[in-house]
């Protein structure tokens, strides 16, 4: 079987982050120190070697960058300061662009000006849509709503609270369906490149179901992070993931239950989940922002523009949501309405860009990579056992 080599691959990859690939001389320190290294998955030397050799197809099929959780221990022990941890981060950006057939992920990662333009245009479109189709009444009555929405009978001309919720919910579901279709199509491409395209691999059909718990467990717990020495980073990442997932489900799936007119006590599930999500997001943002500015932590020493876009967009979404909550409780009708419009104008572009094309997609790719890797391991074990059974009779004869 022939292997294609792309001599310009190293140069192409520099647009996704790391720009020096010849510092590594394969001493093996990174692989030895990595808590995730094991047979078949030698972090991160295997992928670095493929880069240096121009084996682009091999990297397109690699799951290692997603199995790495960026603890930074490999970079701390590298005698050449090759920063293999940042290499894996660069490869995650690159692979995200390879799964996306629209070309937008590559465009956003390699020319971040386009991401600014798209985010800005979507922001303006949502603001204009609200001001034109759902304008605030000049005589809007006082509203009290603990949950953070803006529904009240006389807030918008000709639209009562129930109808207002329905419009927002319809928009939520439309957005969720579009995001899901984009992300699922990317994961299908990921599955094809990393599993189906590998010659000779035969995955038992039953293993797709028996190993599915790997997918659910690793998405819910981010347990592989716990193998790193920096437990604070794992806890922060877990709080971020669970907090934002909870908020996304509440806003998209259970909006009529989450945005209600009555003020519930602080121990009500609605308020507790909202407070947990807010705390989790702010906790992670605070840690990551401080460490990226300090540049002392090896895994946060280098920042790609997409890293800061993610942090800023998430921070603005969270802060604007908190302000909506405060303004509503204070009965500040106009401030609540316009802040809510700004909140959605930040939130929707962030989700539409970050989830299928940028950093939020990692939350999906990582657990799926663990799942796919496990499927490949099961297939290899079955094939090994089959070969052993065929060999034993042959020896006996």
**40 and 120 assigned to the same domain:** no
Q: Where are the alpha helices (DSSP H) in the chain?
A: 9-13, 29-33, 45-53, 56-60, 64-67, 73-77, 84-99, 104-110, 112-133, 161-191, 207-210, 212-221, 231-252, 255-258, 269-294, 305-329, 333-357, 362-396
Q: Which residue has the higher pLDDT, 207 or 81?
A: 207
185 with 142, same domain: the answer is: yes
Which pLDDT score, from 0 to 100, does residue 394 have?
54
> End of a domain among 99, 122, 151?
99
**393 assigned to some structural domain:** no
105 burial (CB, 10 Å; 0-12 / 13-18 / 19+) is buried
Same domain as 135, residue 178: yes
Alpha-carbon distance of 81 to 305, in angstroms, equals 22
Give the least confident one: 39-43, 127-131, 185-189, 299-303: 39-43
Q: Is the pLDDT confidence value at 386 over 60?
A: yes
Q: Do residues 95 and 166 share a domain?
A: no
Does residue 169 share a domain with residue 54? no
Q: Is residue 392 part of a domain?
A: no
Residues 245 and 288 in one domain: yes
Within this chain, do residues 175 and 295 fall inside the same structural domain, yes or no?
yes
- 71 in any annotated domain: yes
Do 121 and 87 lie in one domain? The reply is no
pLDDT, tens only, 214-266: 888 888 887 777 777 777 777 877 888 888 888 777 777 776 666 655 556 66
| DSSP string for residues in 25-88 | ---SHHHHH-TT-BTTB-TTHHHHHHHHHT-HHHHHT--HHHH-----HHHHH-TT---HHHHH
Task: Please indicate, yes or no, whether residues 215 and 364 belong to a single structural domain of this protein.
Answer: yes
| Number of domains the chain is built from | 2
Residues 6+ positions from 94 with CB-CB distance below 8 Å: 13, 16, 59, 109
Same domain, 132 and 257: yes
Task: From 43, 66, 99, give the residue that closes a domain.
Answer: 99
- What does each C-alpha distance from 292 to 166, 190, 267, 297, 363 come to in angstroms? 41, 30, 35, 8, 20
Q: Answer yes or no: do 226 and 92 share one domain.
A: no
pLDDT for 152-210, tens place per residue?
A: 444 555 455 556 666 777 888 888 899 999 999 999 999 999 998 877 778 888 999 99
Residue 395 placed within a domain: no
User: Domain of 312?
Assistant: 104-379
The token pair that represents 27 in the structure block: 């001493």
Is the Cβ–Cβ distance between 75 and 29 less than 8 Å? no
Query: Can you give the pTM of this predicted structure?
Result: 0.84
Residues 355 and 214 in one domain: yes
């Amino acid at each position: 079987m022939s292997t294609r080599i792309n001599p310009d691959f190293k140069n192409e990859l520099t647009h996704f982050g790391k720009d020096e690939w010849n510092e590594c001389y394969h001493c093996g320190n990174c692989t030895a120190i990595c808590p995730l290294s094991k047979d078949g998955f030698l972090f991160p030397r295997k992928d670095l070697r493929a880069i240096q050799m121009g084996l682009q197809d091999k990297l397109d099929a690699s799951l290692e960058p997603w199995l790495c959780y960026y603890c930074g221990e490999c970079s701390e022990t590298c005698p050449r300061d090759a920063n293999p941890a940042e290499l894996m981060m660069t490869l995650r950006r690159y692979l995200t662009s390879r799964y996306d057939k629209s070309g937008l992920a590559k465009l956003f990662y390699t020319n971040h000006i386009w991401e600014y333009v798209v985010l800005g245009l979507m922001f303006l479109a949502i603001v204009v849509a609200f001001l034109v189709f759902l304008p605030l009444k000049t005589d809007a009555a006082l509203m009290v709503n603990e949950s953070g929405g803006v529904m009240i009978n006389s807030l918008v001309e000709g639209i009562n609270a129930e109808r207002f919720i329905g419009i927002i919910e319809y928009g939520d579901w439309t957005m969720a369906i579009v995001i899901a279709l984009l992300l699922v199509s990317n994961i299908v491409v990921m599955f094809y490149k990393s599993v189906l395209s590998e010659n000779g691999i035969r995955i038992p059909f039953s293993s797709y179901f028996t190993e599915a718990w790997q997918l659910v467990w690793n998405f819910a717990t981010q347990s592989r992070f716990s193998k790193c020495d920096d437990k604070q980073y794992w806890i922060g990442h877990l709080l971020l993931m669970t907090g934002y997932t909870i908020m996304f489900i509440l806003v998209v799936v259970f909006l009529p239950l989450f945005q209600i007119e009555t003020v519930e006590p602080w121990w009500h599930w609605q308020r507790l989940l909202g407070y947990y999500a807010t705390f989790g997001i702010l906790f992670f943002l605070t840690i990551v922002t401080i460490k990226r500015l300090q540049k002392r932590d090896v895994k946060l020493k280098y920042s790609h523009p997409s890293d800061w876009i993610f942090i800023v967009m998430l921070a603005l979404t969270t802060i604007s949501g908190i302000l909506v909550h405060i303004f509503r409780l204070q009965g500040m009708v106009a401030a609540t309405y316009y802040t809510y419009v700004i909140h959605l104008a930040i939130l929707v572009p962030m989700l539409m860009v970050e989830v299928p094309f940028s950093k939020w997609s990692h939350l999906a790719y990582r657990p799926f990579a663990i799942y796919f890797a496990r499927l490949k391991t099961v297939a290899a074990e079955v094939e090994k056992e089959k070969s052993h059974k065929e060999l034993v009779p042959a020896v006996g004869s």
